[in-house]
Amino acid sequence: MKKGMSALIGVVLLVALVVVVSGFIFNWIGSKTSEVSDEATIISEKLSACRDFNFKIEKAFCVPKEDGSDSGIVQVKVTNDGNVDVKEAFAARLIGPEDVTVRDKEADITEGVEATITSVKDIELEAYESRIVNIFKQTEPGLFGEEIPKPVESVEFVPRFFIGDEDVYCNDYKVSLHAENCGKV
């Protein structure tokens, strides 16, 4: 009598092993392909939404108080030129003369030394509607402890929206505008 395994049983076991391993590999490849496909779908949704986001920033100016001093409010005229209603759709940045810019890698938005980015959350524009939006300036302490609004040279608007729970910033469609009458008074 021979000891060991017959050639036929060995071939059958080898074929079974190959089938099982290839099944695991095909299953793994299928799940990875599905993940990549889902990511590609999300990216294409973001690009499409950014491209379809159609707005205009027409004018930015500071509102003075009755005595001529700075009220700390920058008003910006925003027009929705698209046929989609807009809700909480912008991140705004007030840029002062002393801001040194750096890049924020996570949000990919230009930021100054002090954070001046504000979400303009109260904006709701229906399709083809135009509206003036108030943005409040940051303040700094004055000589006598009073709060003095910081000067602003320009305003940046970055389109922003949500896909699922994720904030999406359309940095390629950012609009910068000189702010009129916003220096130190």
Q: Please tell me whether residues 39 and 73 are part of one structural domain.
A: no
- Domain with residue 98: its CATH number is 2.60.40
Per-residue pLDDT at 88:
67
Tell me the sheet residues that pair with 9. Answer: none
CA 124 – CA 68 distance, rounded (Å): 30
pLDDT for 156: 86
* 106 & 31 share domain: no
Q: Please indicate, yes or no, whether residues 77 and 152 belong to a single structural domain of this protein.
A: yes
Do residues 103 and 134 both lie within one domain?
yes
The per-residue pLDDT for range 105-114, each reduced to its tens digit, is 444 444 444 4
Q: Do 134 and 71 lie in a common domain?
A: yes
44/75 same-domain check:
no
Is 3 among the domain residues?
Answer: no
Whether pLDDT at 24 is above 90: yes
Domain presence at residue 125: yes
Check residue 22 and give its pLDDT.
Answer: 95
Most confident region among 37-41, 77-81, 94-98 by mean pLDDT: 77-81
Q: Is residue 69 part of a domain?
A: yes
10 versus 68: the higher-pLDDT residue is: 10
Question: Could you tell me the pLDDT band of residue 103, with boundaries at 50, 70 and 90?
Answer: very low
Q: What pLDDT does residue 25 have?
A: 94
Is residue 9 exposed (0-12), middle (13-18) or buried (19+ Cβ within 10 Å)? exposed
As a 3-state breakdown, the chain gives helix, strand, coil percent values, each rounded to 5, of 25, 40, 35
Q: Which tokens is 17 given?
A: 């092993």
- pLDDT per residue over 40-83, tens digit each? 887 787 777 777 778 888 888 888 888 877 888 888 888 888 77
Q: Are residues 142 and 93 in the same domain?
A: yes
**CB-count burial class (<10 Å; 0-12, 13-18, 19+) for 168:** middle
Same domain, 154 and 67: yes
pLDDT, residue 184, reads 53
Whether residue 35 is found in the same domain as residue 75: no
Radius of gyration (Cα) for the chain, nearest Å?
A: 29
As a whole number, mean pLDDT of residues 77-103 equals 72
* Same domain, yes or no: 24 and 90: no
Count up the domains in the chain and report the number. 2
Residue 172 placed within a domain? yes
Is residue 108 within 8 Å of 171, Cβ to Cβ? yes
Q: Which of residues 16, 33, 52 is at a domain's end?
A: 52
Residue-range definition of the domain harbouring residue 40? 8-52
Residue type, 128: Y
Asked if the model's pLDDT at residue 98 lies above 70, the reply is no
Q: Which residues contact 41 (CB under 8 A, 6 or more apart)?
A: none
Are 87 and 44 contained in the same domain? no
The pTM score is 0.60
38 and 122 share one domain: no
Report the SS3 class of residue 32. helix
Tokens representing 153 are 């040279």
